[in-house]
Protein backbone atom coordinates (compact mmCIF):
# COMPACT_ATOMS: atom_id res chain seq x y z
CA UNK A 1 0.00 0.00 0.00
CA UNK A 2 1.53 3.30 -1.03
CA UNK A 3 1.52 6.12 1.48
CA UNK A 4 -0.51 9.21 0.93
CA UNK A 5 2.38 11.63 1.11
CA UNK A 6 3.47 10.67 -2.40
CA UNK A 7 0.13 11.49 -3.99
CA UNK A 8 -0.09 14.10 -6.75
CA UNK A 9 -1.43 17.37 -5.27
CA UNK A 10 -4.84 17.10 -6.96
CA UNK A 11 -5.32 13.55 -5.66
CA UNK A 12 -4.23 14.62 -2.17
CA UNK A 13 -6.67 17.53 -2.25
CA UNK A 14 -9.61 15.40 -3.39
CA UNK A 15 -8.70 12.79 -0.79
CA UNK A 16 -8.63 15.34 2.04
CA UNK A 17 -12.06 16.73 1.17
CA UNK A 18 -13.42 13.24 0.59
CA UNK A 19 -12.09 11.98 3.93
CA UNK A 20 -13.77 14.88 5.75
CA UNK A 21 -17.11 13.85 4.27
CA UNK A 22 -16.57 10.10 4.70
CA UNK A 23 -15.58 10.21 8.37
CA UNK A 24 -18.44 12.55 9.25
CA UNK A 25 -20.89 10.18 7.55
CA UNK A 26 -19.73 7.41 9.85
CA UNK A 27 -20.32 9.63 12.88
CA UNK A 28 -23.74 10.79 11.71
CA UNK A 29 -24.73 7.21 11.01
CA UNK A 30 -24.18 6.41 14.69
CA UNK A 31 -27.19 8.60 15.47
CA UNK A 32 -29.61 6.51 13.45
CA UNK A 33 -32.09 4.94 15.88
CA UNK A 34 -30.54 6.97 18.75
CA UNK A 35 -31.56 10.55 17.85
CA UNK A 36 -34.00 12.44 20.11
CA UNK A 37 -36.85 11.70 17.69
CA UNK A 38 -37.37 9.40 14.74
CA UNK A 39 -37.71 12.47 12.51
CA UNK A 40 -34.19 13.47 13.53
CA UNK A 41 -32.88 9.97 12.72
CA UNK A 42 -34.12 10.54 9.19
CA UNK A 43 -32.73 14.07 8.98
CA UNK A 44 -29.25 13.06 10.13
CA UNK A 45 -29.25 10.01 7.85
CA UNK A 46 -30.24 12.21 4.91
CA UNK A 47 -27.42 14.61 5.65
CA UNK A 48 -25.07 11.66 5.97
CA UNK A 49 -26.15 10.25 2.61
CA UNK A 50 -25.53 13.61 0.93
CA UNK A 51 -22.03 13.58 2.40
CA UNK A 52 -21.51 9.97 1.34
CA UNK A 53 -22.28 10.94 -2.24
CA UNK A 54 -19.69 13.71 -2.03
CA UNK A 55 -17.16 11.33 -0.49
CA UNK A 56 -17.68 8.73 -3.22
CA UNK A 57 -17.12 11.28 -5.98
CA UNK A 58 -14.02 12.69 -4.27
CA UNK A 59 -12.42 9.35 -3.38
CA UNK A 60 -13.08 7.91 -6.82
CA UNK A 61 -11.53 11.01 -8.34
CA UNK A 62 -8.52 10.86 -6.00
CA UNK A 63 -7.93 7.25 -7.05
CA UNK A 64 -8.25 8.10 -10.74
CA UNK A 65 -5.86 11.06 -10.51
CA UNK A 66 -3.38 8.97 -8.55
CA UNK A 67 -3.42 6.49 -11.41
CA UNK A 68 -2.52 3.51 -9.23
CA UNK A 69 -5.73 1.58 -9.75
CA UNK A 70 -7.23 2.27 -6.33
CA UNK A 71 -11.01 2.75 -6.34
CA UNK A 72 -13.27 4.35 -3.75
CA UNK A 73 -13.53 1.13 -1.73
CA UNK A 74 -9.77 0.64 -1.61
CA UNK A 75 -9.35 4.18 -0.33
CA UNK A 76 -12.18 4.01 2.19
CA UNK A 77 -11.59 0.55 3.58
CA UNK A 78 -7.95 -0.33 3.11
CA UNK A 79 -6.10 2.67 4.51
CA UNK A 80 -4.93 2.94 8.11
CA UNK A 81 -5.57 5.98 10.25
CA UNK A 82 -2.27 7.69 9.47
CA UNK A 83 -3.22 7.70 5.79
CA UNK A 84 -6.50 9.53 6.37
CA UNK A 85 -6.39 13.25 5.62
CA UNK A 86 -9.56 14.50 7.33
CA UNK A 87 -9.55 17.27 9.91
CA UNK A 88 -9.92 16.08 13.49
CA UNK A 89 -13.25 17.91 13.83
CA UNK A 90 -15.12 15.21 11.92
CA UNK A 91 -13.68 12.25 13.85
CA UNK A 92 -14.37 13.37 17.42
CA UNK A 93 -17.15 11.42 19.13
CA UNK A 94 -20.74 12.58 18.75
CA UNK A 95 -21.21 13.47 22.41
CA UNK A 96 -24.76 14.57 23.10
CA UNK A 97 -27.05 16.11 20.49
CA UNK A 98 -25.73 19.60 21.26
CA UNK A 99 -22.13 18.52 20.56
CA UNK A 100 -23.22 17.02 17.26
CA UNK A 101 -25.15 20.12 16.26
CA UNK A 102 -22.25 22.42 17.19
CA UNK A 103 -19.91 20.32 15.06
CA UNK A 104 -22.47 20.23 12.26
CA UNK A 105 -22.86 24.02 12.28
CA UNK A 106 -19.10 24.60 12.18
CA UNK A 107 -18.52 22.01 9.48
CA UNK A 108 -21.53 22.75 7.26
CA UNK A 109 -20.78 26.49 7.32
CA UNK A 110 -17.21 25.66 6.27
CA UNK A 111 -18.33 23.27 3.53
CA UNK A 112 -20.78 25.84 2.22
CA UNK A 113 -17.97 28.35 1.68
CA UNK A 114 -15.70 25.63 0.32
CA UNK A 115 -18.12 24.45 -2.34
CA UNK A 116 -19.11 28.01 -3.19
CA UNK A 117 -15.44 28.72 -3.91
CA UNK A 118 -15.06 25.49 -5.91
CA UNK A 119 -17.94 26.46 -8.21
CA UNK A 120 -15.37 28.39 -10.22
CA UNK A 121 -12.59 25.80 -9.93
CA UNK A 122 -10.64 25.23 -13.12
CA UNK A 123 -11.05 21.49 -12.49
CA UNK A 124 -14.33 20.36 -14.10
CA UNK A 125 -14.85 17.42 -11.70
CA UNK A 126 -14.47 19.59 -8.60
CA UNK A 127 -16.62 22.36 -10.09
CA UNK A 128 -19.29 19.85 -11.07
CA UNK A 129 -19.35 18.30 -7.61
CA UNK A 130 -19.54 21.75 -6.03
CA UNK A 131 -22.58 22.69 -8.12
CA UNK A 132 -24.52 19.77 -6.70
CA UNK A 133 -23.07 19.79 -3.20
CA UNK A 134 -23.54 23.47 -2.44
CA UNK A 135 -27.33 23.00 -2.47
CA UNK A 136 -27.07 19.96 -0.20
CA UNK A 137 -24.80 21.73 2.24
CA UNK A 138 -27.04 24.79 2.28
CA UNK A 139 -29.68 22.56 3.84
CA UNK A 140 -27.23 20.91 6.27
CA UNK A 141 -26.19 24.35 7.47
CA UNK A 142 -29.78 25.44 7.90
CA UNK A 143 -30.67 22.29 9.83
CA UNK A 144 -27.78 22.80 12.27
CA UNK A 145 -28.58 26.50 12.56
CA UNK A 146 -32.19 25.80 13.49
CA UNK A 147 -31.10 23.50 16.29
CA UNK A 148 -28.35 25.74 17.62
CA UNK A 149 -30.85 28.62 17.76
CA UNK A 150 -33.48 26.56 19.53
CA UNK A 151 -31.19 24.94 22.04
CA UNK A 152 -29.12 28.09 22.66
CA UNK A 153 -32.06 30.45 22.97
CA UNK A 154 -34.19 27.82 24.69
CA UNK A 155 -34.44 26.81 28.33
CA UNK A 156 -31.74 27.35 30.91
CA UNK A 157 -30.77 23.68 30.64
CA UNK A 158 -30.72 23.55 26.85
CA UNK A 159 -28.66 26.73 26.70
CA UNK A 160 -26.10 25.36 29.18
CA UNK A 161 -25.78 22.14 27.23
CA UNK A 162 -25.57 23.90 23.85
CA UNK A 163 -22.84 26.15 25.23
CA UNK A 164 -21.00 23.11 26.60
CA UNK A 165 -21.28 21.41 23.21
CA UNK A 166 -19.93 24.47 21.45
CA UNK A 167 -17.05 24.77 23.94
CA UNK A 168 -16.13 21.15 23.34
CA UNK A 169 -16.08 21.41 19.54
CA UNK A 170 -14.70 24.92 19.02
CA UNK A 171 -10.98 24.04 19.45
CA UNK A 172 -11.28 21.92 16.31
CA UNK A 173 -12.57 24.75 14.11
CA UNK A 174 -9.26 26.51 13.35
CA UNK A 175 -7.88 23.43 11.64
CA UNK A 176 -10.42 23.76 8.83
CA UNK A 177 -8.67 26.93 7.69
CA UNK A 178 -5.05 25.79 7.99
CA UNK A 179 -3.03 25.99 4.79
CA UNK A 180 -2.42 22.55 3.31
CA UNK A 181 0.51 21.63 1.06
CA UNK A 182 -1.76 20.50 -1.73
CA UNK A 183 -3.82 23.68 -1.97
CA UNK A 184 -0.76 25.89 -2.52
CA UNK A 185 0.19 23.77 -5.51
CA UNK A 186 -3.22 24.00 -7.15
CA UNK A 187 -3.90 27.65 -7.95
CA UNK A 188 -7.26 28.14 -9.62
CA UNK A 189 -8.22 24.55 -8.82
CA UNK A 190 -8.28 24.29 -5.02
CA UNK A 191 -9.86 26.76 -2.60
CA UNK A 192 -7.42 28.49 -0.27
CA UNK A 193 -8.67 27.40 3.19
CA UNK A 194 -7.69 30.64 4.89
CA UNK A 195 -9.71 32.64 2.35
CA UNK A 196 -12.88 30.78 3.37
CA UNK A 197 -12.72 32.02 6.93
CA UNK A 198 -14.16 35.57 6.67
CA UNK A 199 -17.39 34.37 5.08
CA UNK A 200 -17.57 31.51 7.59
CA UNK A 201 -17.23 34.03 10.43
CA UNK A 202 -19.95 36.20 8.91
CA UNK A 203 -22.34 33.27 9.00
CA UNK A 204 -21.47 31.56 12.29
CA UNK A 205 -20.99 34.72 14.38
CA UNK A 206 -24.56 36.02 14.02
CA UNK A 207 -25.99 32.54 14.61
CA UNK A 208 -24.17 32.33 17.96
CA UNK A 209 -25.31 35.86 18.85
CA UNK A 210 -28.92 35.10 18.02
CA UNK A 211 -28.69 31.84 19.97
CA UNK A 212 -27.39 33.89 22.97
CA UNK A 213 -24.27 31.72 23.00
CA UNK A 214 -20.84 32.91 24.06
CA UNK A 215 -18.10 32.48 21.47
CA UNK A 216 -15.61 30.09 23.10
CA UNK A 217 -12.00 31.19 23.65
CA UNK A 218 -10.17 27.89 23.83
CA UNK A 219 -6.60 27.71 25.13
CA UNK A 220 -5.61 25.02 22.65
CA UNK A 221 -6.48 24.03 19.13
CA UNK A 222 -6.26 20.86 17.07
CA UNK A 223 -3.85 20.53 14.19
CA UNK A 224 -2.37 17.94 11.90
CA UNK A 225 -5.33 15.99 10.52
CA UNK A 226 -4.37 16.89 6.96
CA UNK A 227 -0.92 15.40 7.67
CA UNK A 228 -2.36 12.16 9.00
CA UNK A 229 -2.13 13.08 12.70
CA UNK A 230 -5.38 12.09 14.36
CA UNK A 231 -7.05 11.71 17.72
CA UNK A 232 -7.28 8.31 19.36
CA UNK A 233 -10.89 8.18 18.21
CA UNK A 234 -10.24 7.72 14.49
CA UNK A 235 -8.74 4.25 14.89
CA UNK A 236 -11.84 3.01 16.69
CA UNK A 237 -14.10 4.58 14.08
CA UNK A 238 -12.15 2.92 11.27
CA UNK A 239 -12.23 -0.45 13.01
CA UNK A 240 -15.99 -0.37 12.88
CA UNK A 241 -16.20 1.13 9.39
CA UNK A 242 -13.60 -1.15 7.77
CA UNK A 243 -14.11 -4.40 9.62
CA UNK A 244 -16.59 -6.00 7.23
CA UNK A 245 -14.67 -5.16 4.08
CA UNK A 246 -11.37 -6.34 5.52
CA UNK A 247 -12.82 -9.60 6.84
CA UNK A 248 -14.72 -10.34 3.64
CA UNK A 249 -12.93 -8.54 0.81
CA UNK A 250 -15.27 -7.66 -2.02
CA UNK A 251 -18.37 -8.68 -0.09
CA UNK A 252 -21.59 -7.34 -1.61
CA UNK A 253 -25.32 -7.88 -1.22
CA UNK B 1 -52.60 25.93 28.21
CA UNK B 2 -49.92 24.10 30.14
CA UNK B 3 -46.80 22.78 28.45
CA UNK B 4 -47.77 19.20 29.13
CA UNK B 5 -51.22 19.62 27.62
CA UNK B 6 -49.88 21.17 24.45
CA UNK B 7 -47.24 18.53 23.84
CA UNK B 8 -47.64 14.87 23.11
CA UNK B 9 -46.33 12.28 25.50
CA UNK B 10 -43.20 12.01 23.35
CA UNK B 11 -42.44 15.64 24.05
CA UNK B 12 -43.13 17.25 20.67
CA UNK B 13 -46.49 18.16 19.15
CA UNK B 14 -47.86 16.31 16.15
CA UNK B 15 -48.14 17.91 12.69
CA UNK B 16 -50.07 16.87 9.59
CA UNK B 17 -48.13 17.11 6.34
CA UNK B 18 -49.56 18.06 2.94
CA UNK B 19 -47.46 17.86 -0.19
CA UNK B 20 -48.18 19.23 -3.66
CA UNK B 21 -46.49 16.92 -6.10
CA UNK B 22 -46.46 19.37 -8.99
CA UNK B 23 -47.87 22.63 -10.18
CA UNK B 24 -51.57 22.62 -10.95
CA UNK B 25 -52.43 19.86 -8.49
CA UNK B 26 -53.68 20.47 -4.98
CA UNK B 27 -51.86 19.56 -1.79
CA UNK B 28 -52.47 15.98 -0.67
CA UNK B 29 -52.24 14.70 2.88
CA UNK B 30 -49.24 12.38 3.07
CA UNK B 31 -48.85 11.68 6.78
CA UNK B 32 -47.87 13.17 10.08
CA UNK B 33 -44.76 13.74 12.16
CA UNK B 34 -43.45 15.21 15.40
CA UNK B 35 -41.60 18.53 15.53
CA UNK B 36 -40.97 21.16 18.21
CA UNK B 37 -42.37 24.02 16.10
CA UNK B 38 -43.62 24.95 12.63
CA UNK B 39 -40.24 25.74 11.10
CA UNK B 40 -38.79 22.40 12.21
CA UNK B 41 -41.96 20.61 11.12
CA UNK B 42 -41.41 21.92 7.57
CA UNK B 43 -37.83 20.70 7.59
CA UNK B 44 -38.76 17.30 9.02
CA UNK B 45 -41.49 17.00 6.38
CA UNK B 46 -38.93 17.73 3.70
CA UNK B 47 -36.70 14.95 5.05
CA UNK B 48 -39.40 12.37 5.71
CA UNK B 49 -41.78 12.89 2.79
CA UNK B 50 -39.93 14.50 -0.14
CA UNK B 51 -36.64 12.60 -0.27
CA UNK B 52 -37.30 11.24 -3.75
CA UNK B 53 -38.46 14.42 -5.42
CA UNK B 54 -42.11 13.95 -4.52
CA UNK B 55 -43.01 17.58 -4.06
CA UNK B 56 -42.76 21.22 -5.06
CA UNK B 57 -44.59 22.61 -2.02
CA UNK B 58 -45.22 21.49 1.55
CA UNK B 59 -47.84 22.57 4.09
CA UNK B 60 -47.65 21.60 7.75
CA UNK B 61 -50.62 22.02 10.07
CA UNK B 62 -50.78 21.34 13.82
CA UNK B 63 -52.81 18.15 14.18
CA UNK B 64 -54.69 19.84 17.00
CA UNK B 65 -56.00 22.43 14.51
CA UNK B 66 -57.78 19.82 12.43
CA UNK B 67 -61.50 19.34 13.09
CA UNK B 68 -62.55 15.88 11.95
CA UNK B 69 -65.96 14.36 11.43
CA UNK B 70 -66.77 11.65 13.92
CA UNK B 71 -67.36 8.01 12.96
CA UNK B 72 -70.54 8.25 15.11
CA UNK B 73 -71.90 10.88 12.74
CA UNK B 74 -71.28 8.77 9.68
CA UNK B 75 -74.97 8.12 8.97
CA UNK B 76 -76.32 11.69 9.20
CA UNK B 77 -73.27 13.03 7.43
CA UNK B 78 -72.91 10.70 4.50
CA UNK B 79 -75.88 8.37 4.10
CA UNK B 80 -78.35 10.96 2.71
CA UNK B 81 -76.10 11.40 -0.32
CA UNK B 82 -76.49 7.80 -1.39
CA UNK B 83 -80.06 7.96 -2.76
CA UNK B 84 -79.80 11.35 -4.48
CA UNK B 85 -79.04 10.04 -7.92
CA UNK B 86 -79.85 13.45 -9.43
CA UNK B 87 -76.72 14.81 -7.82
CA UNK B 88 -74.69 12.74 -10.19
CA UNK B 89 -74.47 13.82 -13.82
CA UNK B 90 -75.91 10.55 -15.10
CA UNK B 91 -78.88 11.99 -17.02
CA UNK B 92 -76.92 13.50 -19.84
CA UNK B 93 -76.04 11.76 -23.06
CA UNK B 94 -72.45 12.29 -23.81
CA UNK B 95 -72.14 13.42 -27.43
CA UNK B 96 -70.07 11.11 -29.49
CA UNK B 97 -66.57 12.32 -30.05
CA UNK B 98 -66.52 14.50 -26.91
CA UNK B 99 -63.15 14.14 -25.36
CA UNK B 100 -61.72 14.84 -21.95
CA UNK B 101 -64.90 14.18 -19.98
- Can you tell me the mean pLDDT for A91-98? 97
pLDDT at B8 over 60: no
Using a CB–CB cutoff of 8 Å, tell me whether B14 touches chain A. no
List chain B domain ranges: 3-69
Q: Do A46 and B44 touch (CB under 8 A)?
A: no
pLDDT over 90 for what percent of chain A?
A: 91
User: Could you tell me the pTM of the whole model?
Assistant: 0.86
pLDDT band at A122 (very low <50, low <70, confident <90, very high): very high
pLDDT band at A128 (very low <50, low <70, confident <90, very high): very high
pLDDT at B1 over 70: no
Please name the residue of chain A whose CA is at the shortest distance from the CA of residue B14. Answer: A39
Of B34, B43, B51, the CB nearest to A37: B34
- Measured between beta carbons, the chain B residues lying within 8 angstroms of A39 are 33-35, 44, 47-48
pLDDT at B6 over 60: no
Nearest chain A CA: its distance from B47 CA (Å): 6
Tell me A137's DSSP state. H
Strand ranges (E), B1-101: 14-20, 28-34, 57-62
Q: Do B40 and A42 touch (CB under 8 A)?
A: no
Query: Of the given ranges (A5-9, A114-118, A231-235), which has the lowest mean pLDDT?
Result: A5-9
pLDDT at A1 over 70: no
pLDDT for the residue B69? 85
- What integer best gives the mean pLDDT of chain B? 82
- Can you tell me the mean pLDDT for A221-239? 96
Q: Do A143 and B43 touch (CB under 8 A)?
A: yes
- Measured between beta carbons, the chain B residues lying within 8 angstroms of A42 are 44, 47-48
- Measured between beta carbons, the chain A residues lying within 8 angstroms of B51 are 46
- Can you tell me the mean pLDDT for A185-191? 93
Nearest chain A CA: its distance from B69 CA (Å): 28
Q: Do B44 and A143 touch (CB under 8 A)?
A: no
Distance from C-alpha of B32 to C-alpha of B40, rounded to nearest angstrom: 13
Using a CB–CB cutoff of 8 Å, tell me whether B59 touches chain A. no
Given the candidates 3.50.50.60, 1.10.3720.10, 3.10.20.520, 3.40.50.10440, the CATH classification of the domain at B3-69 is 3.10.20.520
Please name the residue of chain B whose CA is at the shortest distance from the CA of residue A143. Answer: B43
- What integer best gives the mean pLDDT of chain A? 95
Full 3-state SS string of chain A: CCCCCCCCHHHHHHHHHHHHHHHHHHHHHCCCCCCCCHHHHHHHHHHHHHHHHHHHHHHHHHHHHHCCCCCHHHHHHCCCHHHCCCCHHHCCCCCCHHHHHHHHHHHHHHHHHHHHHHCCCCCHHHHHHHHHHHHHHHHHHHHHHHHHHHHHCCCHHHHHHHHHHHHHHHHHCHHHHCCCHHHHCCCCCCCCHHHHHHHHHHHHHHHHHHCCCCCCCCCCCCCCHHHCCCCHHHHHHHHHHHHHHHHCCCCCC
ipTM of the complex: 0.74
For the purposes of burial, counting CB atoms within 10 Å of the CB of A152, is it exposed (0-12), middle (13-18) or buried (19 or more)?
buried
Architecture of domain A9-247: Up-down Bundle (1.20)
pLDDT at A60 over 70: yes
Q: Helix axis angle, A97-118 relative to A9-29, nearest 10°?
A: 150
Task: Classify A241 as helix, strand or coil.
Answer: helix
pLDDT for the residue B56? 86
Distance from C-alpha of A149 to C-alpha of A31, rounded to nearest angstrom: 20
- Measured between beta carbons, the chain B residues lying within 8 angstroms of A143 are 43
pLDDT at A222 over 80: yes
Give strand pairing partners of B20. B57
Query: Of the given ranges (A20-34, A79-93, A163-177, B57-71), which has the lowest mean pLDDT?
Result: B57-71
pLDDT over 70 for what percent of chain A?
A: 98
Nearest chain B CA: its distance from A12 CA (Å): 33
pLDDT at A5 over 70: no
Which one has a higher pLDDT value, A5 or A110?
A110
pLDDT at A26 over 60: yes
Of A46, A146, A150, the CB nearest to B47: A46
Amino acid sequence: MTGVSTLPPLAAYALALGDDALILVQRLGEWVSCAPQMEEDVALANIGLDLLGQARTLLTYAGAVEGGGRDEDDLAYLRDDRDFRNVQLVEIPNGDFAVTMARQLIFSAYQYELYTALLVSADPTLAGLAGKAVKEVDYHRDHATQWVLRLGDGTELSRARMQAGLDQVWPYADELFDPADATGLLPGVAADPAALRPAWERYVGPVLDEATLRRPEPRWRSRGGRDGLHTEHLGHLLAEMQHLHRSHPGASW
Amino acid sequence: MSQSARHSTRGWPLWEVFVRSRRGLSHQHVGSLHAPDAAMALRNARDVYTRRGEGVSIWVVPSSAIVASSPDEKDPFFDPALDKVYRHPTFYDVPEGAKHL
